[in-house]
Structure 1
Amino acid sequence: MYFTYIIRCKDNSLYTGYTSDIKRRIEEHKKGINSKYTRAKGFEKLEVYFISNTRSNAMKLESYIKKLSRKKKLLIIETPELLLDELENKKHYRVGI
């Protein structure tokens, strides 16, 4: 299982990434390790994450999200299902709880 996630940084910026272990990765962001961006900007909170069965799908979703506008990312945070409705292969993803 793989996870694609959006976190909010202390400066209110958004960071998108993917991982195979969401708990470990969030702890790394909190500690400011393994990510220059969140080390510099500071971790605020995990906003949303999506679950996929393959690393490839998680990476594709990360790339897709990174290309979106901030406004669109904020909309996805509010209503994650909207993102799934946009995807061609939405059956490969589900919203994390």
Structure 2
Amino acid sequence: MLQTRRGTLYTGITTDVERRCAEHEAGRGAKALRGKGPLVLMHWEWVGDHGDALRLEAAIKRLSALEKRRWLAARSSADAVR
């Protein structure tokens, strides 16, 4: 999940987070992110297979902005406990 300069959250899937972030920063990624940098990587996680990743992405995209921030906060809290 990336955050734009204005605080908008963008969710996507990839097999290579570093490469994909670089593509987005260079303007070669999603059209929704072009000209909206700098971008900040807010969260990434390994998800089983491609189908699982697509389902998680779809579920996150259905959330409101506030719900996405709560989701992020819950993930960050869980990571801090580990």
Report TM bin, short chain.
0.7 to 0.9
Listed one character per residue, the Cα deviations across residues 45-76 of structure 1 (whole Å, up to 9, x for unaligned) are: 00011211201100110000000011111112
Scaled by the length of structure 2, the TM-score of the pair is 0.83
2:8 to 8, 13, 29: 13
- Secondary structure of the corresponding residue to residue 34 of structure 2: helix
Structure 2: gaps spanning 5 or more residues? none
Higher strand share: 1
Aligned CA RMSD, in angstroms, stands at 2.0
User: Is residue 53 of structure 1 aligned with residue 53 of structure 2?
Assistant: no
Q: Report the 3-state secondary structure (helix = DSSP H, G, I; strand = E; otherwise coil) of the residue aligned with 1:72.
A: helix
Residue matched to 2:72: 77
What letter matches 2:75 in structure 1?
A: P
Moved more, 16-25 or 27-36: 27-36
SS in 1 for 2:51: helix
Count residues with an aligned counterpart.
79
Cα 1:56–1:74 shift into 2, 3 Å: same
2:12 match: secondary structure:
strand
SS in 2 for 1:41: coil
- Listed as ranges, the gaps of 5+ residues in structure 1 are 1-5, 83-94
CA contact (8 A) 1:52 1:58 kept: yes
Q: 2:24 aligns with which of 16, 21, 29?
A: 29
Q: Give TM-score, length-normalised by structure 1.
A: 0.72
After TM superposition, the runs of 4+ consecutive aligned structure 1 residues lying more than 4 A away are none
Taking the aligned partners of 1:40 and 1:28, their CA distance within structure 2 comes to: 12
